[in-house]
A = this chain, B = another copy of it.
């Protein structure tokens, strides 16, 4: 990581505190990693976060949306900037072999023991945001404005941002002017990447039940075959991406599950398909969702189905579309600070609920990625910004960010972003 910041600039001044908090931050990270909690169950995590924030002088609100925590550091006139970290872990059995690996289990559906692991790096997000919060509190005299540090529960299931908003978030914290979030990605640690416009996809999961009419397999004329109906739907759904979207419009439609019948010689009553849609803007999302409805209705009609397909929403994430102006300003700040380690990141196919928070306030936002893979093991042949496929990626049991320079980079990136908005005001 190169830095053009001089210690005499506000940024340099704030970051000068980093070595002083590094050991504590790393220890905090490892503790979080060893104590993962599932969505809306982040009680220990939230308590430790709140305790730290209060320690550094933040005004803290706990329990927003269950386990959400917000710390506010008002520091005179100037913009209000919100930074968000997500706190929840995943029901994954950790297989990293790390000394601080999780051995936590919780009680899952049906009373079975369920392993828990920070397999998506939210522990790193928390630690970076806390580290940044500490540095900003220590160096209040070189910046002015207000920092809002928001720790959100339950991002993985997509209901944490909603939970905080439903619990009155908008009226319970100062209105921000801009919002930021960062996420660890399988890029070389030390790297930072942002992009204007679409960054993460919207995701929509649908369950579609197709109704036929059962019959003995030897009497197709007495039935309406839902297996053929479902097959034709799967085939027809392929044409949405291939024919209804521009070749340059990124999107994916995957039918991940198809289930019908239990016997080779009985035509079943119905079939169920479950599908996942990834889009990067609301127009495309609407186009695809409408096309799915149109296609399955029509294929059911082609089969002479006794009733229309039932489409149920299993969950959804909005697209994460960075504000172009904010992202470009951020990009310049990152490049100024990180040099060649900053760059434009490729479009990602993951999804997030972060954007619901700035959308609720009606404010612009930017989301960025930081690398978390040991640069020495990252294949040099791959272009920067390209996700490599042979590295344990987020959600894998072997997902293991290198603590450094990931942590320092995350704290620094948050600080760079903060001072790109707050920095110049204090002089």
Contact = CB atoms under 8 A, between A and B. Distances in A.
Interface centre among A205, A303, A389 (most CB of B within 10 A): A303
Contact of A276 (B203, B240, B265, B271): B265
B254 A217 contact: yes
Contacts of A241: 241-242, 247
- The size class of the interface chain A forms with chain B is 35 or more
Interface of A: 201, 203, 205-207, 216-223, 225, 227-228, 230-236, 238-268, 271, 273-276, 278, 291, 294-295, 297-299, 301-304, 314, 346-347, 349-350, 389
Contact of A264 (B205, B302, B349): B205
A219 B302 contact: no
A389 B278 CA distance: 26
26 contacts: A217-B276, A219-B349, A221-B245, A227-B258, A228-B238, A230-B234, A231-B231, A231-B233, A232-B232, A235-B235, A238-B242, A242-B253, A247-B250, A248-B346, A248-B349, A256-B263, A256-B267, A257-B262, A259-B260, A264-B275, A294-B301, A297-B301, A298-B299, A299-B302, A301-B301, A302-B302
Q: Chain copies in the assembly?
A: 4
A278 B265 CA distance: 10
A257 B261 contact: yes
A239 to B, nearest CB: 5
A247 B218 contact: yes
Given A217-B256, A228-B255, A298-B301, 19 more contacts: A220-B243, A220-B246, A220-B247, A221-B244, A228-B235, A228-B243, A230-B258, A231-B234, A232-B235, A241-B241, A241-B242, A242-B253, A247-B252, A258-B258, A258-B261, A263-B274, A264-B275, A291-B304, A294-B301
Given A216-B349, A221-B244, A238-B243, A260 B258 contact: yes
Contact of A349 (B218, B234, B254, B301): B218
A302 B290 CA distance: 11
Nearest to A265: B276
A299 B255 CA distance: 18
Nearest to A271: B258
Contacts of A257: 227, 260-264, 268
Interface centre among A236, A266, A275, A346 (most CB of B within 10 A): A236
Given A206-B264, A258-B230, A258-B261, A252 B220 contact: yes
- The 8 A-B pairs of least Cβ separation, nearest first, read A265-B276, A298-B302, A257-B261, A218-B349, A217-B254, A231-B234, A264-B274, A247-B252
B258 A302 contact: no
B247 A268 contact: no
B220 A254 contact: yes
Contacts of A220: 242-247, 252, 254
Given A263-B274, A265-B276, A276-B264, A225 B254 contact: yes
A221 B246 contact: yes
A280 to B, nearest CB: 9
Nearest to A261: B257
